[in-house]
Amino acid sequence: MDGNGRWAQARKLPRVEGHRSGVAAVKDTIEASAQLGLEALTLYAFSVENWKRPRYEIWTLMNLLKDYLRKELATLLENDIRLEILGRWRELDPSVVRELERAVTETRECERMVLSIALNYSGRCEIVDACRDIVADWASGKRADIDEQTLGRYLYTSGLPDPDLLIRTSGELRVSNFLLWQIAYSEIWVTDTLWPDFRRADLLQAILEYQRRERRYGALPETSDQGFISGRKPV
């Protein structure tokens, strides 16, 4: 969810006003995703690297998060949306952790859609944490073959499907340390729209573009003649 600061600066407002305006985009995107029948939606809210930002901006972000959880928990329950948190979120301020724990606990039986929020998140940290947990289990006698499936079970996203579509707002052409393992074959859609202006119409545009693409996972298209190599048929 990128572009909050630039949205505010373009309007000669403090950067934090961009974050406040971004809450409307969050609500609209979650509601639209649930109505469309999406199985899972993940929002990248705060990265490990974001701690480099001004203290007041971080404080504002955390308070917006707490306020959102208090106001929207009933809506999540009414719409049968389960909340999960990705990242080292238990390192956040205790007041934030308490609100997160309450929302996760109260929505744990919801089944319509999984809403994951990445907080204090880093794709590299996720892989490091998974490796540490594997080593710890090995030390305690819980050993398993190390393969892609094993590592996947130790990631923050264990039990969730890999993303089909990665949407990048604000026109930036980078993944910013987001779900590095999981997006190996995700389709990427970039929009110049800044996050506070992102609405369900933008989400629908991204999904329509996704539907036009052919996902091959390294294989050849089904319509190609795989029997021809350099113009000759195999013997």
104 within some domain: yes
Given the residues 28, 50, 162, 164, select the one marked as catalytic: 50
Q: Which residue in 230, 227, 194 sits closest to 3, CA to CA?
A: 194
- Judge whether 162 counts as a catalytic residue: no
What's residue 224's pLDDT? 55
Residue 47 belongs to domain spanning = 4-122+162-207
Asked if pLDDT for residue 34 goes beyond 90, the answer is yes
Domain assignment present for 45: yes
Please report the pLDDT score of residue 217 as a whole number.
82
Q: Is residue 188 part of a domain?
A: yes
Q: Does 155 reside within a domain?
A: no
Model pLDDT, residue 233: 42
pLDDT in tens, 203-216: 999 999 999 999 88
Tens of pLDDT, residues 41-85: 999 999 999 999 999 999 999 999 999 999 999 999 999 999 999
Determine the pLDDT at residue 192. Answer: 98
- % residues pLDDT > 90 (the chain): 89
In a domain, residue 215? The reply is no
Confidence of residue 228 (pLDDT cuts 50, 70, 90): very low
What total number of domains does the chain contain? Answer: 1
- pLDDT one-digit tens code per residue, 159-179: 999 999 999 999 999 999 999
Confirm whether 73 is domain-assigned. yes
Q: Does any domain span residue 156?
A: no
CATH of the domain at 42: 3.40.1180.10
Q: Span 148-154, mean pLDDT?
A: 96
Catalytic-role residue among 2, 4, 120, 202: 2
In a domain, 11, yes or no: yes
Question: Catalytic site residue 28?
Answer: no
Mean pLDDT for 105-133 is 98
Q: Does residue 155 register a pLDDT over 50?
A: yes
Phi-psi region of 159 (alpha: psi -120 to 50; beta: other; left: phi over 0): left
> pLDDT band for position 225 (50/70/90)?
low
